[in-house]
Amino acid sequence: MSIMLDSANPEDARRARELGFVEDVTTNPTLIAKTGRPPLELLSELVEIVPGHVFYQLTAPSVEARYDQAWEAHEIRPDKVILKIPATTENIAMAARLEQHGIECAITAIASPAQAYLAAQAEAAYAIPYVNRLTRTYGDGLAVVRQIAAILQGTETEILAASLKSVEEVVGAILAGAQHVTLPLELILALGEHEFSRRAIADFDASMHSAKP
């Protein structure tokens, strides 16, 4: 079970690494565009920052071009790059080809249990449902995660829940059966905070200061 950082910003990656419990980073084309950096140059930097994997999304316009792009990204750091491949039937077939070569793939932007089922048939390492986007579009992204968890039981494909926007949604995704979550830095930091704990700490501090030496 792991918490990953959802960002392409090297500074975020450094801060997340310092927390000591975040090892992997997921990027996507939007997050990479925000940095204004060439994608592969950024990928080369991120794999040096984090101890775990860096997820990198394929964007080329045809399946064959995406297949070539996959090898190009993989060769940057074969032990650390995981390819994010958007969920379509032809892309999942491409992921099956890559997995046969031992290249780890994550099927991303998953919206349905059927897509997750195909991802498992392709022996993809991860299925990535977009929880909040699904809730906004269809009403209940967590229900989709629950169905996917039931379908993937007993397979090697693990659920990495993405598009999570609140602490409650993160907890909901884990309860629904996600083995992993990927979150922006602010949400990772928010997980350890609670008003109740803050009050308890303040009470203990007050007792310490009022205690007689």
Measured distance CA(102)–CA(98) in Å, rounded: 7
Q: Could you list the residues that contact ligand E4P (CB under 6 A)?
A: 6, 26, 28, 128, 130, 132-133, 162-163, 182
| CB-nearer residue toward ligand E4P: 137 or 197 | 137
| CB-nearer residue toward ligand E4P: 27 or 69 | 27
Task: Compute CA 190 distance to the chain's CA centroid, rounded to the nearest angstrom.
Answer: 17
Instruction: Name the minimum Å distance from CB 130 to ligand E4P.
Output: 5
Measured distance CA(166)–CA(181) in Å, rounded: 12
| CB-nearer residue toward ligand E4P: 181 or 202 | 181
- DSSP of 110-170: E-SHHHHHHHHHTT-SEEEEBHHHHHHHHS-HHHHHHHHHHHHTTSS-EEEEB---SHHHH
Q: What's the number of CA atoms in the CB half-sphere (13 Å) around residue 99?
A: 21
In this structure, are strands 2-6 and 158-161 parallel, antiparallel, or unpaired?
Answer: unpaired
Instruction: Name the minimum Å distance from CB 68 to ligand E4P.
Output: 22
- For the question of residue 84 being annotated catalytic, the response is yes
Q: Which amino acid is at 140?
A: D
Instruction: Name the minimum Å distance from CB 196 to ligand E4P.
Output: 28
| CB-nearer residue toward ligand E4P: 37 or 133 | 133
Q: Which of 34, 80, 84, 212 is catalytic?
A: 84
Instruction: Name the minimum Å distance from CB 28 to ligand E4P.
Output: 4
Task: Compute CA 210 distance to the chain's CA centroid, rounded to the nearest angstrom.
Answer: 46
Active-site annotation, residues: 84
